[in-house]
Amino acid sequence: MRPGQQISSPRWYPRGPGRAIFAFVASLPPRDEPLDLEGTLPAELPPLLGRALGLVRVDLAPAHPQPSAVRVAIATAASAAGSLAADAILVAIGEAVFPSTKGYGHFQFSDYAKLTVIGVLIACVAWPVVTRISSAPRWLFFRMAILVTLVLWLPDVYILHGGAPPRAVAVLMVMHLAIALVTYNCLVHVAAVGREGAASLPKPAARHQARPGN
């Protein structure tokens, strides 16, 4: 987007939480331009910081085309719907396998749905940011998903320590893992980045060339 340029609102402009995701992605630089960090970072990073960013593959200069705002919005909707469906299925399985967990407070749709949607929206905002700061976005995003899942398990361990039913807590932990799997796959496949340098590759030469004199 150029300075002073306004975002037009097409007829299919999403409403609700999807509207915020669409507006955020649309405000980022065009797909074929790298993230403009001039004036934000120093000309030379400290060696320690440079090594740390290199370890997590943050180079701030990706060459791949960026996912479109429409694809990110579609991936967001698919992630939310898929995660809620996975939650409901896991709750049903958990209550069937462990009858003692029926009626558990955190198994109520109104309880887990709100937290699920919030977590999915955060992940869907993070994905287009990761694609603009790393040349290996899937590598980085996958490890971020693992880290976030481990962090989200901490409250489960806390309520388990506080006396929550172990079987119910185990189902909650599986639900968190399922949300991470659904959201990650929706984003990296539906809102996938283009292949680096694919557009600039030369066309393959013809296998058979005409012989002299033919």
- Report pLDDT digits (tens) over 147-201: 999 999 999 999 999 999 999 999 999 999 999 999 999 999 999 987 543 433 3
Report CA torsion sign: 176, 179, 181, 183.
Answer: negative
CB 141 within 8 A of CB 130: yes
CB 195 within 8 A of CB 131: no
Read off the pLDDT of residues 49-88 as tens digits, 9 standing for 90 and up: 667 777 777 887 788 889 999 999 999 999 999 999 999 9
Where does the pLDDT of residue 17 fall: very low under 50, low under 70, confident under 90, or very high at 90 and above?
A: low
Residue 197 has a pLDDT of: 37
How far is residue 187's CA from residue 204's CA, in Å, rounded to a whole number? 32
Indicate the pTM of the whole model.
Answer: 0.69
How far is residue 71's CA from residue 112's CA, in Å, rounded to a whole number? 26
